[in-house]
Amino acid sequence: MRRGGESGLCGAIATRAKRVVKALSIIRHRAVFRPPHGRPRGAPNCQRPRVTSSTSPASYRTLSVADMAEVDQVIHRRLSSQVALVNQISHYIVSAGGKRVRPMLLLLIAGALGNRTAERHELAAVVEFIHTATLLHDDVVDESDLRRGRKTANALFGNAASVLVGDFLYSRAFQMMVSTNRLRVMEVLAEATNVIAEGEVLQLMNMHDPDISVDDYLRVIEYKTAKLFEASARLGAVISDAPAEVEAACADYGRALGTAFQLIDDLLDYEGSTAELGKNIGDDLREGKPTLPLLVAMQRGTPEESALIRQAIEQGEVERMPQVIEIVRRTGALEVTREAAQAQAQQAERCLEALPESEWREALLQLSFDSIHRSN
């Protein structure tokens, strides 16, 4: 990727977002995100904006249902191990379900580019294995005990077993990608897993630190969450032999979608319920994660309110959750976070103009819309 300036409507909307954020006194000097080694977000590959329609809810799931069934078969076949505990833990976490957004993203991009090969099912499973491995490791690092509405693997089988099975899923994913005989596929996924690991370390460094900047917070999202979305979308283009500019636009779509997705996740920790989310409300606060709702609330709240949130972040005081939620809601921090997610979803939509018109592209538009209009 190369560095470059904003152009066209992508640049105009990025400028508008910058004015909004500046007016809210949240971000002083950066409204677009920069990748570790690339041009600013809001790429020249993205064209005119599109308005997402919700007339065909979850059309992306309808379109990809047969493909996802094939992916599930690949997942269960490739999970096989001669070690019983590996089978037990890996099947436990995979059978918990989940949205499977990342493999679906790869399938939809490939479909939009006319790819109907079996290779896409194998790589979609690879992406899900990598994601599942990160979940196993995350739950150990975060000391989580609930995910997708049931006990985490580490709560049931212990930290050591969970970490090692996460390693197994990583290595199995690389074993599968090697079988594609595509150097570009291996390059994309090797970079993605490396950046994700860096994101995990960045997040660890930011724990219990109420003084991190919004830029630092966004960089964690960029590395830890958005990178695998980006890689999934890029791979859909790579295996379809798409031109470089189309591949870049698909990657930009995935990156923006992943950022929007994580922003909503961070919002839901202060707006949702345990039953809806399938995890404990207040986990982010307990873990000392200074997410955007908290950063905005500290900046907009009274000195007393800011001090309360600061102490809650530093100490991981989940018992202060009711007061924190009240402050977050009163200061409009949730609305600010939702606006930031909406801006990213709109940016994602613009990037889809690089794809030919089809029901697959419409499904991708719907996916970006639904990513910010969800309750779990």
Amino acid letter for position 223: Y
Whether residue 225 lies inside any domain: the answer is yes
Domain that holds residue 153: 8-370
Residues 218 and 230: their CA atoms lie apart, in Å, by: 15
pLDDT at 95: 81
Residue 259 lies in a domain: yes
pLDDT digits (tens, 9 = 90+) for 278-337: 667 778 898 999 999 999 999 999 999 999 999 999 999 888 999 999 999 999 999 999
Q: Which of 26-30, 46-50, 191-195 has the lowest mean pLDDT?
A: 26-30
pLDDT per residue as tens digits for the range 107-148: 999 999 999 999 999 999 999 999 999 999 999 988 888 876
Residue 375, in any domain of the structure: no
**What is the CATH number for 251?**
1.10.600.10
For residue 278, is it within any domain? yes
In a domain, 376, yes or no: no
- Report residue 9 as tokens: 């409507």
Query: Is 204 inside a domain boundary?
Result: yes
Task: Please count the structural domains in the chain.
Answer: 1
Average pLDDT, the chain: 85
Rounded CA-CA distance 203/199 in Å is 6
Query: Residue 195 corresponds to which amino acid?
Result: V
Structural domain contains residue 330: yes
**pLDDT band per the 50, 70, 90 thresholds, residue 361:** very high
Q: What is the mean pLDDT of residues 23-31?
A: 36
**With contact defined as beta carbons under 8 Å apart, do 140 and 190 qualify?**
no
Instruction: Determine the pLDDT at residue 5.
Output: 38
- ∠304-339-293 over CA atoms, to 5°? 30
Domain membership flag for residue 75? yes
User: Any residues with CB less than 8 A from the CB of 326 and at least 6 apart, and which?
Assistant: none
